[in-house]
Homo-oligomer: A and B are copies of this chain.
Amino acid sequence: MRKIYMDCASTTPVDKDVVKEMLPFSTEKYGNPSSLHSFGREAHDAMEKARENIAKLINADKDEIVFTSGGTESDNLAIKGIAYKMKEEITDYKGPHIITSSIEHPAVMETCKYLGLQGFKVKYLPVDKYGVVNLDNLKKSISRGTFLITVMHANNEIGTIQNIEEIGKIAKEHNIVFHSDAVQSVGKIPVDVKKTKIDLLSISSHKIYGPKGVGALYIRKGVKLEPMIHGGGHEKGIRSGTENIPNIVGFGKACELAKKRLNEDAEHLTILRDKLIKNVLNIEESYLNGHPTLRLPNNAHLRFTAVEGESLILSLDEKGIAASTGSACSSKKLLPSHVLLAIGLNEIEAHGSLRITLGRGNTENEVKYVIDVLPGIIRNLREMSPLWKKPLEIEKWKKEMKK
């Protein structure tokens, strides 16, 4: 059976050139970069070259990049690292204060909740129906104790892009550290840490055709973090543990390719995305979640009345199409997505959502296949649904859920 992968916000295939670059570092050039001998020096040089490529993609300096095991660790390191470093310095009687949004990735949200249990105050900014943070609201939330603003660049579910340039300016004006989870945006839309006043930026390799298990945290020169993983003092003491050289090398190559292909990829993906959205919206009672234009070039997040997301994914899977209900991170839990609730959907609506996230390798033919197949699937599912065209049933369900 034909297999079409359209779940690139979950993870991407590793680019062939990336695999090729990585391989020798497992089999021949397998040294530990901390070692003094030639194997070690070779590994060390390759790591520094990769660091350079990652820095270039976001216009950072090489020594502002710290390698981690992925986006989740980067988010944890950034937020806890600043929080534990600055805790003692906050003299506001209300306690140390973090501002974040209500639609962050769980890596940010759960970290903030955890800090919330430890005496930190956390403000979760609401978003509008498109998932955009209101900047006036942000400004009003700043208090004397606010030491960190952490707002994602692009949302992993609905693809909405925040105005991080403005958020950066506001943070600077108030002398507040600004962290952004840019796991979904880096490599897809331009990110420039020099132009934008970002202090900490989380990046992941496996979302941009690099290997899994490696990520980076950009740390602006002068910003001090408390380490989260202690040990041999790797990465200038900020992140201990033998560096994952093959994957770091692959990550570097993936960034090099992403930089080279940024415009070309974005153009290709935007055309496919728009074709997909336009055609799918011809289906009766179908809606686009997220912002119509301020959205990632590869994200189509759709909603169908009286269709249950999990069944939709499984039906698509039977046709060889891999897509997602929400973010992969929570797709095995049956809780409704906090992002979809935050943009104002009710629980039933949230459960009827489909996330299609395209990749570099997807073709127009594949998109056409999805457009052809989807209406039939929706029709079938609706025929089995107790909610389709039964407004009274829906009202009953809503009441049930409120209990």
A-to-B contact residues, CB < 8 Å: 3, 5, 7, 10-14, 16, 19, 23, 26-28, 30-32, 34-40, 69-73, 75-76, 105-107, 110-111, 113-114, 204, 206, 211-214, 228-234, 240-247, 310, 313-314, 316-317, 321-325, 327-333
Interface pair A111/B213, CB less than 8 Å apart: no
Cross-interface CB contact of A213 among B12, B69, B324, cutoff 8 Å: B69
Cβ-defined contact, B38 with A317, below 8 A: yes
| Contact yes or no, A329 B106, CB < 8 A | no
> Are B7 and A37 neighbours in the complex by a CB distance under 8 Å?
yes
Which residue from chain B places its CB closest to the CB of A76 in the assembled complex? B229
**Considering the chains assembled together, what is the distance between the CA atoms of A305 and B321 in angstroms?**
68
* Chain B residues within 8 Å of A34, by CB: 10, 328-332
Q: How many Å lie between the Cα of A30 and that of B59 in the bound state? A: 29
Instruction: Contact check, A36 vs B245: say whether CB atoms are below 8 A apart.
Output: no
23 contacts between A and B (CB under 8 A): A5-B39, A10-B31, A10-B242, A11-B30, A13-B27, A13-B30, A14-B27, A14-B30, A16-B27, A32-B328, A35-B322, A35-B328, A36-B317, A36-B331, A37-B313, A72-B241, A107-B230, A107-B240, A212-B242, A213-B213, A213-B246, A228-B228, A244-B247
**Which of B212, B331, B332 touches A246 (beta carbons < 8 Å)?**
B212
**Among all A-B residue pairs, the 4 with the closest Cβ atoms:** A213-B244, A232-B329, A69-B69, A72-B241
Question: Can you name the residue of chain B whose Cβ is closest to the Cβ of A113?
Answer: B230
Q: How far is the CA of A111 from the CA of B240 in the complex (A)?
A: 11
Q: Tell me, in angstroms, the Cα distance from A335 to B241 when the chains sit together.
A: 19
| B-side contacts of A76, CB under 8 Å | 228-231
Residues of B within 8 A of A204 (CB): 242
Contacting pair B36 A10 (CB below 8 A): no
A234: which B residues are within 8 A, CB to CB?
329
A227, closest chain B residue (CB)? B114
CB of B310 within 8 A of CB of A232, answer: no
Copies held by the complex: 2
Given A35-B328, A39-B322, A212-B245, 15 more pairs with CB closer than 8 A: A10-B32, A10-B34, A10-B242, A19-B26, A19-B27, A36-B332, A37-B314, A37-B323, A70-B244, A76-B229, A107-B240, A110-B240, A213-B247, A228-B229, A242-B328
Task: Give A181 Cβ to nearest chain B Cβ, in Å.
Answer: 11
Interchain CA distance A146-B76 in the complex, whole Å: 29
Question: In the bound complex, do residue A214 and residue B213 qualify as a contact, i.e. CB atoms below 8 Å apart?
Answer: yes
Contact: B31 with A322, CB < 8 Å? yes
Complex contacts, A327 vs chain B, CB 8 Å? 232
CB–CB B23/A10 < 8 A? no
- Name the contact of A69 in the complex, choosing from B16, B19, B73 (C-beta under 8 A): B73
| Alpha-carbon separation in the docked complex, A171 to B321 (Å) | 53
Most buried by B among A31, A69, A316, A331: A69
Q: Which residue of the partner chain, among B23, B36, B69, B240, contacts A325 with CB atoms under 8 Å?
A: B36
Q: Contacts A212-B245, A230-B114 given: A331-B73 contact, CB under 8 Å? A: no
Residues of B within 8 A of A40 (CB): 7, 10, 322, 328
Partner of A106, one of B31, B233, B247, B324: B233
- The contact of A211 among B5, B11, B69, B246, by CB within 8 Å, is B246
Given A231-B106, A231-B107, A37 contacting B322 (CB threshold 8 A): yes
> What is the distance, in angstroms, from A45's C-beta to the closest C-beta of chain B?
14
